[in-house]
Amino acid sequence: MSIIERAAGKLGNPQQPEASAIKSATRPPADTEDGRLIEAAIKKAEASFNRAPASVSPPPQEPAFYRDDDGPATIIGSQHGSVNLARLKLAGALTPDAGRSKIAEEYRLIKRPLLMNAFGHGNNAPIPNGNLIMVTSSVPGEGKSFTAINLAISMATELESTVLLVDADVAKSSVIRYLGLEADRGLLDVLRDPNVQLADVLIKTDIAKLTVLPSGRGFAHATELLASNAMKAFMEDISTRYHDRIIIFDSPPLLATSEASVLASYMGQVVFVVEAETTPQEAVKDALAHLENCEFVGVVLNKAPSRTVGGDYYGYGYGYGGYGEYGKQPQ
């Protein structure tokens, strides 16, 4: 079992009372390399959560057309789409009617620290850009899209937040296909063509509070646009206009393209997906090194086989803390 598997199962968000019990009961000895890395990650996470609440600036005025869920009168050019729930269920994904199923419970655990960071909790103020959440991984196929979609549905359907799900894995986009929606334009078109407005390409779905921004028309080297000035301006724009909404970015894998770490630099929080028992530990360490400037990185251990009465079952573990430390050598 790799350090990340152990850490993902054992480290919790310091904001959650049960987390400290988990980490102290199971932390590896402090005089081992794993122990030092985990110790450093915990210290960093605790320091960041213990800081004094920052002041929050008042929301800026927003042009009406940019708001996609304020009622029909304010929507210009917004499209509507019906999510194919049967397809989602077939893929084993979360659907709004999941109730208290295991998958719904698992995503409740995963989203809780993300929402607390985004909106603040108790004496803890929201973290800067905490509503901008990147879902990434080391390599393709680990479950980024699966995780991003499940998180978005979980957050949107429990009436906690309005969610915009952005398909930013422009070279290997799959959000639209997973959801059974149709779209010809999206993020890439907004970035390339000043005549295309965000509101023109957003898809308001029939899952309450869930809006999707498709990746748009692909082309060779499309991923390079993620590191462009146009993307920087786009991120600044939506982080201001959508400061009160969760924006989840299904993103390229960190080891496949350098643009992924540029994208990460705009985010308040990163959800790092690790495919259990498959992703090599070295790949995980290398990928996390690309995130060392990101303060809030949570790990989702995906496709972790767990035995149930009914047989093998794919599940998820999660950990939360200063995982940027993993890319560094122990002090």
What secondary structure letter does DSSP report for 208?
T
Binding-site member from 6, 144, 209, 245 for ligand ADP (CB under 6 A) = 144
The piece of 112-120, 174-182, 188-196, 229-237 that touches Mg ion (CB under 5 A) is 174-182
Task: List the beta strands (DSSP E) in 100-169.
Answer: 132-137, 163-167
The site string for Mg ion over 117-146 (x = CB under 5 A, - otherwise) reads: ---------------------------xx-
Task: Report, in Å, the least distance between residue 195 CB and Mg ion.
Answer: 29
The Cβ of residue 32 has, within 10 Å, a number of other Cβ atoms equal to: 12
The piece of 20-28, 43-51, 76-84, 140-148 that touches ligand ADP (CB under 6 A) is 140-148
Asked if residue 223 binds ligand ADP (CB under 6 A), the reply is: no
The piece of 136-144, 179-187, 239-247, 323-331 that touches ligand ADP (CB under 6 A) is 136-144
Q: What's the rounded Cα separation, in Å, for the pair 55 and 81?
A: 38
Asked if residue 174 binds Mg ion (CB under 5 A), the reply is: yes
Task: Report, in Å, the least distance between residue 197 CB and ligand ADP.
Answer: 28
Tokens encoding 93: 């994904």
DSSP reduced 3-state for 108 = helix
Asked if residue 223 binds Mg ion (CB under 5 A), the reply is: no
Task: Report, in Å, the least distance between residue 83 CB and ligand ADP.
Answer: 15
| H helix count then E strand count, the chain | 12, 9
Asked if residue 251 binds ligand ADP (CB under 6 A), the reply is: no
Residues that bind Mg ion (rule: CB under 5 A) add up to a total of: 4
Asked if residue 64 binds ligand ADP (CB under 6 A), the reply is: no
Total residues found in the chain within this entry: 331
Q: What's the rounded Cα separation, in Å, for the pair 206 and 166?
A: 17
Asked if residue 287 binds ligand ADP (CB under 6 A), the reply is: no
Contact status, residue 97 vs residue 26, Cβ threshold 8 Å: no
Nearer to Mg ion, 84 or 174 (CB): 174
Q: What's the rounded Cα separation, in Å, for the pair 115 and 43?
A: 21
Question: How distant is the alpha carbon of residue 143 from its chain centre?
Answer: 12
53 binds, among Mg ion, ligand ADP, none (CB under 5 to 8 A by kind): none
- Going by their DSSP bridges, the two strands 269-275 and 297-308 should be labelled as parallel
Task: Report, in Å, the least distance between residue 137 CB and ligand ADP.
Answer: 5
Q: What's the rounded Cα separation, in Å, for the pair 70 and 62?
A: 12
Q: What's the rounded Cα separation, in Å, for the pair 176 and 183?
A: 7
Asked if residue 302 binds ligand ADP (CB under 6 A), the reply is: yes
Q: Which residues bind ligand ADP (CB under 6 A)?
A: 91-92, 137, 140-146, 174, 302-303, 314
